[in-house]
Amino acid sequence: MPTPSPAPGPTPSPAVVRVADVPGRVAATLDAMGDVLDELGGLFAEAGEELALVGGPVRDAMLGRSHHDLDFTTSARPDVTERLLKKFAGGATWDMGRAFGTIGARRGDWVVEVTTYRSESYDPSSRKPEVDFGDSLEGDLGRRDFTVNAMAVRLPGREVEDPFGGVVDLVQQVLRTPGTPEDSFTDDPLRMMRAARFAAQLGFDVAPEVVTAMTAMAERISIVSAERVRDELVKLVCAPYPRRGLALLVDTGLADHVLPELPALALERDEHHRHKDVYEHTLTVLEQAIDLEHRLGDGPDFVARFAALMHDVGKPRTRRFLDDGTVTFHHHDVVGAKITRKRMKALRFSGDEIDAVAKLVELHLRFHGYGTGEWTDSAVRRYVRDAGDQLERLHVLTRADCTTRNRRKAERLRRTYDDLEARIERLSEAEELASLRPDLDGNQIMEILGIGPGREVGQAYQFLLDLRIEEGPKSADEARAALLAWWEQRAV
C-alpha cells in the first residue's frame, strides 16, 4: 500500500436539531419555496383535491436546508394531477412514473413530482412492488420508509403533519420506521438499503429494532432488482458518511447479498501485519480518497470512491502464507479488477463506469515499483498512457492507499509521489503525454510502406507507439527510418 495522503480532517458532524428551532427553520425554508408551494396548493385546492409537501424536502426544511426538487403527495389521481401540473408548468410535464401514481413537471429551476396517496407491497416472489392508491395523507405517510421522512406540510395552509414522531427522531438523530420494521421491510425490502443510505447521508444512528429486522430479513433484498440496489449503493457511497452505511450493510448481512466482496475483506490481514485488517484498511482508504477528491472537481466522485472501496477485493483469492510466516497477495490488483468487473456488471453499471473503476483497481499498485524515483522517462510515459483519462483519479487512489501510522514512512512516500507527479507534469508540457500518439499516423504509414488498410498497419502503428513511449518524440525523418528498419526486419 504505497502512498499516503495528508492526515484527514475531522469528520463533519450531523446537523444538530433542537425542537425549539424547528418551527422557525420550517417557516423560513418554506417561505423560500413560497411561490411554488402557494401556487400548487391553490391549484389543487380549487380542483377539490388535497396536496402536501412530503419526504426529504420536509425533513430538510427542519434542518434548515432548502430544495429545488420537491416531492408532493395528493388525493388526486394521475390524470387530474397531470392536468393541474400542465397549468403550473406550461406543459413541461412527464409521466414516466404514472404506473406508480407519479407525474413530474419543471418550471425554471424548480422540479416537482406529485404522487397519488398510495400503499405498495411486494409479492414474496416478485421483484416489482404492487401499487394501490390510498385515500388519506396519514395512510400515505404510514407506508413511508422512516419517521423522519414521514412528515408532511399541508398546502396551501402550510400545516405540519407528524403522526409518527418524526420531529423527535430528527432531534435524536435516529432512523425508525413508522410501523414495525418487519412490516416495512416486507412491504419493500429496498428500505433496508435505504436505512444504510440515510445513515450515510444524515450521519444518524439506526434504531436497534430496525437493525435487528435488517439482520433477520437481509436475504429478502435478493428479490429487489439490481438496478434499484445499484442506485441506493451509489447514493450511499457518495454520501458524507459512507463508512456508517457500509458498516451497517456488513454488520446486518445485507452486504453478503449486494456487495459480498466487502465483508470478505474482514477475514484478511494486510500483508504488513498492521493493526487493521483489509476491511478496515479499505474503509480508511475510502475516507482518505474523499479527503482528496477536491482534486477531481466539485462534488462526490463515485468512480474514485468505488475504486477505493474495491481496490483490494482480489486479496482473499490471492492470499498465500510463506514459510517465514509472512503473507502475500501477489497479483491481487489484476484479480481484483476482474472481480470488480463481474460485480459491477451484476449491478447493471454502465460500461464506461465499469471500465473506469476496473482500470483504477488494476493500476492501484503500479506506483509501488517507482521506488525512490528510479523509473525511466519511458516508464513514466507508460504509466500515463495506461492510466489514460483516469490519471487524476489514479493519483487520488494511490495517495489514499496508505494507512500506515509511521509518520516517517508516510512522509517519504508522499514526497516520492510528489516527485512522480512533477515528472509527469514536466514530460506532459514537453511531449503532450495526455494525447500520446505515434509520430506518424495511419495514412503516413501506408504511404511509406506502400500498403493498404489492414492488420499490418495496426502492427506498424503499435510499433511506433511503443517507440514513442520508450524513446520519446522523434522527427518525421527519424520515425520514417525506424519504421522502415522495423519493416525490413519483420520481412526477414
Domain holding 476, by residue range, is: 442-491
Q: Which residues face 73 on adjacent strands?
A: 52, 115
The reply to whether 121 falls in a domain is yes
Q: What is the pLDDT along the chain (492 residues), one digit of tens a residue?
A: 444 433 344 445 565 556 566 677 788 888 888 889 999 999 999 999 999 999 999 999 888 887 789 999 999 999 999 999 999 998 789 999 898 899 999 998 999 999 999 865 556 666 566 667 888 999 999 989 999 999 999 999 999 999 999 999 999 999 999 999 999 999 899 999 999 999 999 999 999 999 999 999 999 999 999 999 999 999 999 999 999 999 999 999 999 999 999 999 986 554 544 435 899 999 999 999 999 999 999 889 999 999 999 999 999 998 888 887 788 888 999 999 999 999 999 999 999 999 999 999 999 999 988 877 788 888 888 898 899 899 999 999 999 998 888 888 889 889 999 999 999 888 877 656 556 778 888 899 898 888 889 888 889 888 888 888 788 888 889 889 988 889 888 865
Among candidate residues 141, 129, 139, the one with its CA nearest the CA of residue 53: 141
Do 408 and 299 share a structural domain?
A: yes
Q: Is the peptide bond before 156 cis (omega within 30 degrees of 0)?
A: yes
Do 291 and 158 share a structural domain?
A: no
The reply to whether 360 falls in a domain is yes
What is the four-CA torsion angle of 63, 69, 73, 79, rounded to 10 degrees? 170
Do 146 and 94 share a structural domain?
A: yes
Please say whether the beta carbons of 254 and 215 come within 8 A.
Answer: no
Do 286 and 427 share a structural domain?
A: yes
Residue 38 gets which letter from DSSP?
H
Among candidate residues 457, 421, 453, the one with its CA nearest the CA of residue 440: 457
Residue with cell 475504486: 307
Last residue in a domain, options 389, 419, 435: 435
The reply to whether 346 falls in a domain is yes
What is the number of structural domains in the chain?
A: 3
Q: What is the pLDDT of residue 130?
A: 64
Do 453 and 413 share a structural domain?
A: no
Copy the grid coordinates of residue 444: 503516413
The reply to whether 61 falls in a domain is yes
Do 54 and 155 share a structural domain?
A: yes
Q: What is the pLDDT of residue 11?
A: 46
The answer, as to whether pTM is greater than 0.85, is: no
Q: How many CB atoms lie within 10 A of CB 375?
A: 18
Do 401 and 328 share a structural domain?
A: yes
**Angle in degrees, CA 102, 105, 110, rounded to 5:** 125
Which CATH number is 381's domain given? 1.10.3210
The reply to whether 236 falls in a domain is no
Q: How many CB atoms lie within 10 A of CB 351?
A: 9
Do 160 and 53 share a structural domain?
A: yes
d(CA 284, CA 415) in angstroms, rounded, equals: 21
- Distance of alpha carbon 336 from its chain centroid, rounded? 18
The reply to whether 385 falls in a domain is yes
Do 449 and 369 share a structural domain?
A: no
Please say whether the beta carbons of 307 and 364 come within 8 A.
Answer: yes
Do 148 and 98 share a structural domain?
A: yes
Do 425 and 281 share a structural domain?
A: yes
Q: What is the pLDDT of residue 21?
A: 63
d(CA 476, CA 424) in angstroms, rounded, equals: 24
Q: What is the pLDDT of residue 274?
A: 43
The reply to whether 455 falls in a domain is yes
d(CA 268, CA 262) in angstroms, rounded, equals: 11
Which CATH number is 120's domain given? 3.30.460.10
Please, what sign has the CA dihedral across residues 86, 92, 97, 103?
negative
d(CA 193, CA 347) in angstroms, rounded, equals: 14
Do 153 and 119 share a structural domain?
A: yes
The reply to whether 266 falls in a domain is no
